[in-house]
Amino acid sequence: MKALRVERGLLSVSAVDRPEASSEALVRVVKSGICNTDLEIVRGYAGFEGTIGHEFVGVVEEAEDAADLIGKRVVGEINAGCGSCDLCQQGDPRHCPNRTVLGIHGRDGAHAEFLKLPAGNLVAVPDEVSDEEAVFVEPLAAAYGITEQVEIDHETRVAVIGDGKLGLLCAFSLASEAKSLVLIGKHANKLAHAGMNGRDIETIELKDGGKLPTGFDVVVEASGSESGFGTALDIVRPRGKLVLKSTFHGTPSWQASRVVVDEITIVGSRCGRFQPAIDLLSSKKVKVDDLISEELPLSDGVKAMEVAANKGVLKVLLRMA
């Protein structure tokens, strides 16, 4: 089969053996989505070598212990736990110390014609969710996963910093819970999506010397920049919550005294549950089709990665043969 792989620091579409399902399910990938993590892996993040990609929709070809899934469209939770530790036994392998992660750590990923995952990781996609929408389930689950750790209701004042793919999905999904939400970013063309597809989300374009509103109950930092973290500290209220949604590169410096004096709670947030994300897409509370910048065949995977790295580009999809 074909697969988009990183080997010895080089990215290429290679011919590799189709995975053997053995005790796991074999999925024929239909479409996959390129994520910023894929771009970082090519630059050396996590030291991963192999097939990259973790956002996908596919059809189950084999599933020894889940015959009911065969022939169904599915998406897949990317963390595959050991199955025996306390966290796995409690039904949450996302933090299993021995987990593998699809296309990121110890497990070949989704930019390929086939992949394998434990059947328990797979979630069926309803008919009303298209293949293109289904590719967004993983990042949307990560965005909405904030609600697992931070209570957000109709009265919560929320700000999201960052107008990239993740920031937009955070804003779109959290706007379904909070009446007052502001999306803050630096790119007018990306912020414009807050007013598309029936959305009515307030936006603020960051400009030099511009003053931002303050007193937010929850601030989501989704820009992945040190300046974004500083902005979040500036606008969160005392005893408010600051959610770090992006991984920082290097070692950021920040004013710890402000966190202590204002008693700010800092929360790290990574993955989320898939079913709530599917429900948001199925109910059309979150629409994502305007976030797709381009779709290319897997055979053009290297070019697709180059396109995804360009400024202003949002989601780039790969389609399989």
197-215, pLDDT tens digit by residue? 999 999 999 987 678 999 9
- Res 256: pLDDT: 85
Q: Please choose, from the candidates 234, 201, 199, 203, the residue with its C-alpha nearest in 3D space to the C-alpha of residue 219.
A: 234
pLDDT score at 75: 98
| E strand intervals along the chain | 2-7, 10-15, 25-34, 50-51, 55-62, 73-76, 79-80, 100-102, 106-107, 114-117, 122-124, 157-161, 180-185, 202-205, 216-221, 236-244, 265-268, 292-297, 315-319
Distance in angstroms (rounded) separating the CA atoms of residues 257 and 308: 38
Q: Provide the pLDDT for residue 22.
A: 84
Question: Distance from first CA to last CA of the chain, Å, rounded?
Answer: 10
pLDDT at 70: 97
Positions of the chain with pLDDT under 70: 209, 247-250
pLDDT of amino acid 225: 85
Q: Hey, what domains does the chain have and what are their CATH numbers? A: 2-141+272-319 (3.90.180.10), 146-268 (3.40.50.720)
Q: What is the pLDDT of residues 94-149, one digit of tens each?
A: 999 999 999 999 999 999 999 999 999 999 999 999 999 999 999 999 999 999 99
90: helix, coil or strand? coil
* Rounded-to-integer distance, Cα 112 and Cα 114, Å: 5
CA-CA distances (angstroms) from residue 223 to 61, 95, 146, 312? 38, 24, 15, 14
